Amino acid sequence: MPAETTDLAQALRDAGLRVTHQRLSLLSLLMDASDHPNADELLARARAEDDSVSLATVYRTLAILEEAGLIRKLTLENEPARFESMPLAEHDHLVDIDSGEVVEIASEEINRIRKDLVEGLGYEIVSHTTLIRARKLR
Amino acid sequence: MPAETTDLAQALRDAGLRVTHQRLSLLSLLMDASDHPNADELLARARAEDDSVSLATVYRTLAILEEAGLIRKLTLENEPARFESMPLAEHDHLVDIDSGEVVEIASEEINRIRKDLVEGLGYEIVSHTTLIRARKLR
DNA sequence: CTTGTAAATGCAAATCACTCGCATTTGTCA
DNA sequence: TGACAAATGCGAGTGATTTGCATTTACAAG
Ligand SMILES: [Mn+2]
Ligand SMILES: [Mn+2]
Ligand SMILES: [Zn+2]
Ligand SMILES: [Zn+2]
């Protein structure tokens, strides 16, 4: 039995979730993905292994994995949501408006300033998303 | 003729847009709004003046005003988009996850750091949205 | 102030991403 | 090796937003 499979299965158990092929498949796909796929794309990839997976389960599973803190959902403008495995470091996303590509951006300084600002207003951050639409300079 | 009406009409003309009652109405509503209304709410407010306005026109008009840079659209998670008149100063939004209220947050420092970071990656920012989901501390 | 004409609007039907109901299958724990 | 609740596949529903088309309107000309 591969180590990775065991790890992911354990991550699901630790989250109090049952270990199903669909959950392992989607979690694994997102761990390995270098891009930020949406539900349709994940369905296609999951079906390469098991062609009986349904779109409804993809959506249900993604919601559950997000709830469990194992993955993150990116709500974009005018296009279906994309997903990524939970990153180790907090980071923002830049969408290249010409290619659609998503680039990750991290700044510990921005995170700190934002946190202080929000707390100064009497709030605690539950989650945050920064989406930058940008164009490549030439 | 009120000065405001003239101003808004001129803003539309300057953007190369025809001046219609619906556009003036929505633009005016957003200039005066202290909250961040969605399309449904704007339709209700617009109908208080002219009960023949349609939801389709509200959506078409909001898209046009946004394209013209006169208003801004906020894409939230799991709820219809909200709108605001184009703010003078760039700012982020905090959504109180308990009340649904939207709070504005401005930090010139964050804007500067982010701009430098993005330019360092060879991009220019076209627009950006930061959405913070937060809970009031007690 | 009329008129021609393209653009804007209202209405209803269509889209699209996502969700749900339900019969069937599967994971977990005796 | 069952019992049984939870998960899944499938198809039908939802809700926000968009679109086709007939009608109205803004506005440039005359
Ligand atoms: Mn797609
Ligand atoms: Mn509403
Ligand atoms: Zn990311
Ligand atoms: Zn704002």
Which CATH number belongs to the domain containing residue B100 in this structure? Answer: 3.30.1490.190
Together in a domain, A98 and A54 = no
Alpha carbon B64 to its chain's center = 12
Instruction: For A67-90, write each residue's pLDDT tens digit.
Output: 999 999 999 999 999 999 998 888
Together in a domain, B75 and B102 = no
Instruction: Domain count for chain A, please give it.
Output: 2
What is residue B43's three-state secondary structure? helix
Question: Cα separation of B52 and A71, whole Å?
Answer: 46
Contacts of B131 in chain A (CB under 8 A): 128-131
Flag whether residue B126 sits within 8 Å of chain A, measured between CB atoms: yes
Question: Cα separation of B138 and B136, whole Å?
Answer: 6
What is the widest separation between alpha-carbon atoms in chain B?
Answer: 51
Together in a domain, B79 and B101 = no
What is residue A97's three-state secondary structure? coil
Together in a domain, A66 and A97 = no
Instruction: For B79-133, write each residue's pLDDT tens digit.
Output: 999 999 998 888 999 999 888 889 999 889 999 999 999 999 999 999 899 999 9
Together in a domain, B60 and B104 = no
**Contact between A61 and A22 (Cβ < 8 Å):** yes
Looking at residue A1, what is its pLDDT?
Answer: 47
Together in a domain, B79 and B102 = no
Which CATH number belongs to the domain containing residue B46 in this structure? Answer: 1.10.10.10
State which of A64, A85, A106 marks the end of a domain.
A85
Together in a domain, A79 and A99 = no
Together in a domain, B72 and B122 = no
Strands B92-96 vs B123-136: parallel, antiparallel or unpaired: parallel
Looking at residue B100, what is its pLDDT?
Answer: 85
- What domain range includes position B62? 3-85
* CB < 8 Å from B in window 87-106 of A: 92, 94, 96-97, 103, 105
State the nearest Cα–Cα gap between B48 and chain A, in angstroms.
29
State which of A65, A85, A105 marks the end of a domain.
A85
Together in a domain, B53 and B23 = yes
Q: Is residue B2 scored above 60 in pLDDT? A: no
Question: Cα separation of A68 and A27, whole Å?
Answer: 12
Inter-axis angle of helices B108-120 and A108-120, to 10 degrees?
A: 160
Question: Cα separation of A126 and A119, whole Å?
Answer: 12
Tokens of B108: 């010139």
Together in a domain, A60 and A108 = no
Looking at residue B4, what is its pLDDT?
Answer: 62
Give distance in angstroms: CA of A88 to centre of ligand 3. Answer: 10
Looking at residue A4, what is its pLDDT?
Answer: 61
Together in a domain, A10 and A77 = yes
Question: Cα separation of A11 and A27, whole Å?
Answer: 10
pLDDT-based confidence at residue B30 (cuts at 50, 70, 90): very high
Looking at residue A100, what is its pLDDT?
Answer: 84
Residue of B nearest to A136 (CA): B123
Together in a domain, B14 and B42 = yes
> Residue A38 gets which letter from DSSP?
B
Contact B134 A117 (CB under 8 A): no
